[in-house]
Each structure stands twice: as C-alpha cells, then as structure tokens.
Amino acid sequence: MSQDKPEQQDKPKDRPNGTIYTSKAPEDDESHQMISSLFLGPHAENYEYFKSNIINILEATRDSRLNYFPEDGPFISEQVQASATFSKHTDKIGNAVKKAAELLGKHSVPWWSPRYAAHMCMDMSMPSLLGYFMTMLYNPNNVSIEASPLTMVAEIEAGQQICEMLGYNLDPEVKDTPVGWGHITCGGTVANLETRNLKFYPLALRNAIKDFGPLSFIGDTFVIEICSGSRKLFKDLSKWELLNLKVHTVLEIPDRLSIEYGISSAFLQDTMKKYGIQSVGIGSLERQYDIDKPIQYMVASTRHYSWPKGGAIAGIGSENVVGIAPDMEARLDLNDLNNHLQASLEKQQAVYAVVAIVGSTEEGAVDPLRGVLDLRNKYQAQGLSFVVHADAAWGGYFATMIPKDFRPGDPKNAEPPKQTGRGDGFVPDASLRVESQEDIYAMRHADSITVDPHKAGYIPYPAGSLCYRDERMRFLITWTSPYISRAGTTESIGIYGVEGR
C-alpha cells in the first residue's frame, strides 16, 4: 500500500514565498537584494557562493606556494602521503575537525538568525569572513611594510575609510581642519587606553626647557596660547595652565619648534625620550609637579566595563573614571556633567577627557555630544580644557545612516527615509531620531573616536579601531614627535598603539 503524501498547506496570500520574514514580495525590494548578496543567510542560502569563494582562496594559496621556487620540487612526496603514519594522523585531524564543527554548530549562539536578538552582535558578512580566512592563510604581521607589504597598506586604507565614515578630514589641502588618522586594534578596550598621554606632554617639555635642559635656549622666547586665550612664555606657565592647554596647541608644539627654532625631529625625539611620560612614568611627573589631585576621566555611568578596567591598567585608577549620571533617556546628563566640571575647576583638579558614548552597550543610547563640546568651549574660556572622546564602539557604524548632504538643524532631517524598492517587509527602513543624527554627525569634532568593526560592522572578532581627528595625536603613544606626516612616506603602523604585533 502506498504511503499518503503529507497534506500540502496553501501558502498564505500575504507570504508569496512561504517565509516568515515578509508580507511583501522580496523581488521588488532592492535593499533586500543587495543585503542578501553580503551574507551567508539564516539557512545558509548562499552556501554555494560562499563555498566557491573559499575554493578560489584555497586555489590561489596553492598556486602561490607552487610558484615560489618551483624548481625545489615537492617537500611532501606522494610516498609520504601514502604511508600509514601520514594517513593515521590526517584521519585524526579530519575526525577532530568534523567533531569540532559539529559541536560548534550545536552549541554556539545563533547570531546568524533574525530570531536571536539577545546580544548586540549579528551575523558576519561574507566579505569579512572570506577576507579573514584568506589573510589567515598568510599570517601577516602588520608591524612594518617589510613584514606585511600588502596587509599593512590595507590596514592604513581601512583606517582612512573609518575616519571618512566618521566625518574626519583626510585632505591635507584643507588648511582649517586637521588631517585624521585611524588604525585597527583588537577591540574597543585597547583603543580606549590610547588617549592618556596628551596631558603630560607639556609637563615633560617644560622639564626639558628649565634648569639648563637641552631646550633651555628657547625658554626666553617661546610663547604659547593658554586655553583661556591669552599668550605667555611657555616657561612661565603654572602647573594648572600646563595641564589645560588645548589639544591643537599641544600637538602643534613640535612643528612650531621646527619652524621657529630649527629643532629637528631627531633632536626632539632624543630629548623627549629622557623627559617624556613613556620613559619616566606618570608617577614621576605627578611628583615633580606636585599633582596631589588625581587627573580624571568623566563618562556616563552607562559606560562599558572597559573604562574602569582601562583606568586600572593605565595607572589612572578605576575610581578616577568618574561616572556621570544618566538622564531619563539613559544619556549622559549635561547638568550633572556641568556640576562635575565646575567642581574640577574650583578645586583645580585636571580632567583627561570627557567621554560621550555613541551607542551604550545595554541601552543603545547616544550621549549628547554636541552639548559636551559646548561645555568644553565654556570651560576653556575659564581655564579648564580636556580631550573630548567619543566611545562609538557600538554606534559608530550608524554614521553610515547619515545622508551625505546632512546638515545639523535642517528640517528635512526629520523626514522619513526614501525607499529603494516597493517591498518593505524584508528590509524595513527606519531613520535615526533627529537628536541622534546630530550627535553622530558631531563626532567629526571629537578629538578621538573608538569604533568596533566586530560589532555593527559585521566583522569577526577581534576587530576594534581608534581614530584621531588630528593625525599627530597618534605619536603620543610612541617615542616619536608629533610632526605632520610627509608626502610619499610609508609609515610603520606597528609603532602606534599599545598592542604588540
């Protein structure tokens, strides 16, 4: 007797393809068509495309090895491959790979499924997975152009692309805006560690000028603008004035020394090796200048745990990463920040930086960065200056949702986004709230920004990044001086940042 076929259910009229994801025809949704080409898919719908690219990568790897001194001949012969010992161990590896893959598939968190929304991470894009796999086979170390002639250039370009996405200027011909620079880190935690040394550069330089130091010959003529706007001899600045120079004022000092006094980069580097924080340490400079009130970071109490952890690692102390109360929308409360800054001014307790979170980890809130920048202007006029840092590890990529012609205050910012196709079920279009758009747009005025490609960038772990509004800021983590980069030079990226490579 023949077995009856299972009863065929009619497809719902509002689901022409029989899927749970849509009530519209996906063939009319250009957004969905484009996005579909970038991911393996919740049911591995693009498996064959992905596999063909993996095969292409493996074949290119094979060819590159065959073409390197082909006259050498095979190192692993067919006779070796036919041996019992070889077969035993390749079978062992094959079985282990099969079992590990099975366990990962059964016990891993299903990031790839739209049904899973318990974490900020989502599926990874096929280009990022293929690029990761491809590069892994060559194991480059982006410490120098000699060690990684292709991938170091790719990292430099990736840093430039992230800077451009965030609104930083990359054109050296634009004279009223500094040139930005960015690099890849292993994550936002490490990136957030790299923004401390600016505060101590003036103190170290002052030590090199006073008491017949190697730069004492500039002491009677080197004049600098303090953050309130007046000008004074650098050697006559008070401790408080040294700790509160504006960011651009500090960063342009080495170029000024070169232009005004003919001091070479090599001479200044050798000098700062003796006096800089990288050599003498934070404690030495604090004792020399009798800094009895610890310098602080200020960041909303919705901060990521990396901030107190970074404070501990950097020797600042987690208790000096001061939590600012959130408002009713889980954003940094500007009134509370203002109160803390006023107290710092009255006590003359310096501030490393105020951090605006662009996409808090739990709430997804965007801090009022424009208000933070306004408060800095207010307090600089009174003698208190600090770095403004945007922790956009989670929300930085939402800058891609800001239209190219966006201008703050434009009424059209509140208009709904334009559709790219008729369908609106697979890829629902939604714009950011106007306040978030304007604060994300304001990131171009922050001194530094962290953004994690391994979060909203659909990139595999680990991938963080740090971008500077002024490229010279990156030198403060090294033993080199922050001169403007010269055209035609290829830099070694490994000297920047806190990671070993």
Read off the pLDDT of residues 77-126 as tens digits, 9 standing for 90 and up: 999 999 999 999 999 999 999 999 999 999 999 989 988 888 777 899 99
% of the chain beyond a pLDDT of 90: 60
User: Average pLDDT, stretch 158-175?
Assistant: 95
What pLDDT shows up at residue 480?
60
Rounded distance between C-alpha atoms, residue 8 and residue 26, angstroms: 23
Distance of CA 478 to the CA centre of its chain: 18
- CA nearest neighbour of 282 among 181, 201, 360: 201
pLDDT confidence of 426, banded at 50, 70, 90? Answer: low
When pLDDT is cut at 50, 70 and 90, the band that residue 193 belongs to is: low
Largest CA distance in the chain: 108
Coil vs helix vs strand at 86: helix
Q: How confident is the model over 387-406, as a mean pLDDT?
A: 90
Mean per-residue pLDDT, 206-221: 94
% of the chain at pLDDT higher than 70: 85
pTM of this structure: 0.87
pLDDT at 487: 47
Res 303: pLDDT:
84
Task: Identify the CA nearest to 218 among candidates 230, 231, 232, 208.
Answer: 208
Contact residues for 141 (Cβ-Cβ < 8 A; gap 6+): 147, 148, 494, 501
Q: What is the pLDDT of residue 489?
A: 53
Is pLDDT of 316 > 90? no
Nearest to 498 by CA among 192, 194, 280, 143: 194
Answer yes or no: is pLDDT of 185 > 60.
yes
In this structure, are residues 116 and 103 in contact, taking their beta carbons and an 8 Å threshold? no
* Per-chain mean pLDDT for the chain: 86
Q: In this predicted structure, which of 296-305, 334-343, 371-380, 464-473 has the lowest mean pLDDT? A: 296-305
Give, in order, the Cα–Cα distances in Å from 485 to each of 140, 265, 449: 25, 12, 20
